[in-house]
Amino acid sequence: MSPFSDSPSLWAAEPAARWEEAHPIGDGRFGAMCWGDGRFDLNDDRLWTDPSPPDPSQPAAGAPEVVRAARAAALAGDPERADELLRSVQGPDTASYQPLGTLVLGYRAEGGYRRELDLLKGISTTLHGPVTVEAVCGGGFGVRVTGADEVAVESDVDFTRLDEDDAVVVYVGVDGVPPWHLFRHRATSAHAELVGRVELDLGPAPDGPPSTWPREHPALAALLFQHGRHLLVASSRPGTLPANLQGVWNPHAEPPWRSNYTLNINTEMNYWPAEPTALAECHEPLLEFLHGLAESGTRVARELYGLPGWCAHHNTDRWFLATPVQGDPAWANWPMAGAWLSLHLWERYEFGGDAVWLRGRAWPLLLGAAEFCLAWLVEDRGELTTAPSTSPENHYLTADGREVAVGVGATMDLALTWELLDRVVRAGAVLGEDVGRFAEALARIPEPPVGSDGRVLEWRDEWAEPEPEHRHLSHLVGLYPGVRIERGSALAEAARRSLEARGPGGPGWSHAWKAALWARLGEGERAADSLAGMPLYPNLTCANPFQVDGSLGYPAAVAELLLQSHRGVLELLPALPPSWPTGRVTGLRARGGIAIDLEWRDGELRSVALTADRACEVELVSGSRRLAQRVAAGGRVVVPWLRSVG
């Protein structure tokens, strides 16, 4: 009997030649990269360097006065002086995520070779002649070797070896010495229960290893959809830390960007697929992490800015660093991370509908983030804006050609402020809270500005761009994941022009964001092109360098192509790519606590099935067709679309 499954899987006919070819497995706490030659690089999500200084939330002395001076300089048109002042209030860099160690199994094997990563069960299997090696994470790391005459074990981490009659089992970080069959069953069942909630079929797969498939092939899109969901399940489970830049996998003592939490897009993108692709439990580590970050951020808001509420900047770590790190204010002095992260709290409520959780766990954080944003606003030219202001990692050219970062009213600042105040007002309505002052400010937040060429501007004023195809799409956050810019509006057309101007390139996460933006615009072909252009390593993870954000953004973008629920109706196949003419998806989630199954053929929706957590009436929309549908709590309704809707 073959040890390989029919589940969605990655496979190769030779061992990994480098770390980026190995197969990642994990249980949220522990991670392993499986090379297929007996080597396993191990990680524990708790292993970080110590914070420096010991209190990472301590801002510089006298900081509010410095920030106020930077505001005055920005408003007076002196960005260099504002830059200089902001650099003076920067704090330490984050801690670095660390490798746990390496485990190497030595055995002799000859004959045919294949290694596979089962994305449904989260198990790595290598078959080399008579030798079979299985590895899985579930409350620790475990590996079992069968068919080998002798097995040697070398490792720089503590391990437990169990010799059976026909096998050798090695555990790292596992409590006790459980029988392999029990450990394997628990680990694979827990993984499959999560990944198996959604299935996507876009047609038959090509022959050969997935790394050789054409990038535009629909079957590769379906596989990468499940691959991204596997990575989230493997790097983020209840009780663990959130997935960092590299998920839970890192072989370096000095990893790229410290393998920290980068909060100006990457951490948020890691969790975009959690709700729409039925992985709400995997969202929990981020939502719980926000409580610690808000505690640090409250002190930073008070002592750095002299303001109420809480804030965070573009980097943090397991110690909840909330101050600006060292470097260019273009990234370091961006204080809007708390606002963006707080939107995830409302997403959890919209999809799950737990008002008790909303009041007890989410509301204090939403309120605190909104308090800071409200106080951070300043009136200038008769409207509310922000100053000093930066657009993450980007710069502009002044009238005399100077490249600067600090200015007034970056579009992202105001877009995130609008989105957060909107959610606070909505949450207040659910909870019966007085949110009048937030509603008043919300009504005064200006729309994103549009330039002379019809594009959404990145700052309040129309400046020349030193890098027109910059990787970030910060000024379009109101289109996705935000909701202010609606498809079909004049602003949506301006966003489309901005998206075109950014070009097709960029790192993997930029491709995922572009795909989601194109999906919101209803342009499935452009979205599919963005996904097909994503740079990938041979193990199909996001490339240059290895980061999980693009891989996790991929399933979020695919879900957005097939189902959108942010406008109060269920839009079915709102941006189906022409290259995916026939397919089926089951288990996608919509806001309101609804699971959706869809089938389509020749580009036309054929059937939709709805399962509701609670009784509801929803409006289904696909193209020009609309249908109101009631669903009982726990009930399932199947609608043969073409026969039911005229």
| Residue burial 118-145, b: 16+ Cβ < 10 Å; e: rest | bbbbbbbbbbbeebbbbbbbbbbbbbbb
Q: Are 136 and 170 in contact (CB under 8 A)?
A: no
Confidence of residue 252 (pLDDT cuts 50, 70, 90): very high
pLDDT of res. 285: 98
In DSSP notation, 546-579 reads: T-SHHHHHHHHHHHHHHEE-TTSSEEESTT--TT
- At residue 54, does pLDDT exceed 50? yes
- At residue 56, does pLDDT exceed 70? no
Q: Which alpha helices (H) appear in 165-273, and where do they start and end?
A: 180-195, 218-235, 266-270
Confidence of residue 51 (pLDDT cuts 50, 70, 90): confident
| Mean pLDDT lowest among 56-70, 82-96, 583-597, 621-635 | 56-70
Q: What share of the chain has pLDDT > 90, as a percent?
A: 96
Q: Which residues contact 351 (CB under 8 A, 6 or more apart)?
A: 275, 276, 280, 589, 590, 591, 592, 593
Strand order in the sheet with 625-631: 563-564, 570-572, 616-622, 625-631
What is the rounded distance in angstroms from the CA atom of residue 589 to the CA atom of residue 279? 9
- 71-77 CB contacts, 8 Å cutoff, 24+ apart: 71/378, 71/387, 71/388, 73/388, 74/387, 74/388, 74/389, 74/406, 74/407, 74/408, 75/378, 75/380, 75/387, 75/408
Nearest to 421 by CA among 436, 408, 399, 411: 436
Tokens of 508: 């993997």
Q: By three-state DSSP, how is residue 330 classified?
A: helix
CB atoms within 10 A of CB 572: 24
Per-residue pLDDT reduced to its tens digit, 130-155: 999 999 999 999 999 999 999 999 99
Chain-centroid distance of CA 159 in Å reads 33
What is the rounded distance in angstroms from the CA atom of residue 621 to the CA atom of residue 569? 7
C-alpha R_g of the chain: 25
Q: Are 367 and 391 in contact (CB under 8 A)?
A: no
Per-residue pLDDT reduced to its tens digit, 85-108: 999 999 999 999 999 999 999 999
Mean pLDDT of 38-63: 84
What does DSSP assign to residue 121? T
Q: Are 631 and 612 in contact (CB under 8 A)?
A: yes
- At residue 127, does pLDDT exceed 50? yes
Confidence of residue 5 (pLDDT cuts 50, 70, 90): low
What is the rounded distance in angstroms from the CA atom of residue 565 to the CA atom of residue 43? 37
What is the rounded distance in angstroms from the CA atom of residue 556 to the CA atom of residue 226? 11
Per-residue pLDDT reduced to its tens digit, 350-406: 999 999 999 999 999 999 999 999 999 999 999 999 999 999 999 999 999 999 999
- At residue 58, does pLDDT exceed 90? no
Per-residue pLDDT reduced to its tens digit, 300-356: 999 999 999 999 999 999 999 999 999 999 999 999 999 999 999 999 999 999 999
pLDDT of res. 61: 66
Per-residue pLDDT reduced to its tens digit, 565-594: 999 999 999 999 999 999 999 999 999 999
- Beta bridge mates, 639: 608
What is the rounded distance in angstroms from the CA atom of residue 286 to the CA atom of residue 265? 14
Q: Are 405 and 394 in contact (CB under 8 A)?
A: yes
pLDDT of res. 7: 85
Q: Which residues contact 599 (CB under 8 A, 6 or more apart)?
A: 583, 584, 605, 606, 607, 608
Confidence of residue 1 (pLDDT cuts 50, 70, 90): very low
Mean pLDDT of 249-269: 98
- At residue 196, does pLDDT exceed 60? yes
Tokens of 366: 């939403």
- At residue 511, does pLDDT exceed 60? yes
What does DSSP assign to residue 407? B
- At residue 57, does pLDDT exceed 80? no
What does DSSP assign to residue 243? P
pLDDT of res. 556: 99
pTM: 0.98
Mean pLDDT of 551-565: 98
What is the rounded distance in angstroms from the CA atom of residue 214 to the CA atom of residue 588? 26
What is the rounded distance in angstroms from the CA atom of residue 39 to the CA atom of residue 105? 6
Q: What share of the chain has pLDDT > 70, as a percent?
A: 97
pLDDT of res. 3: 59
Confidence of residue 115 (pLDDT cuts 50, 70, 90): very high
Would you mind telling me the total number of residues written for the chain in this entry? Answer: 646
Q: Are 183 and 173 in contact (CB under 8 A)?
A: no
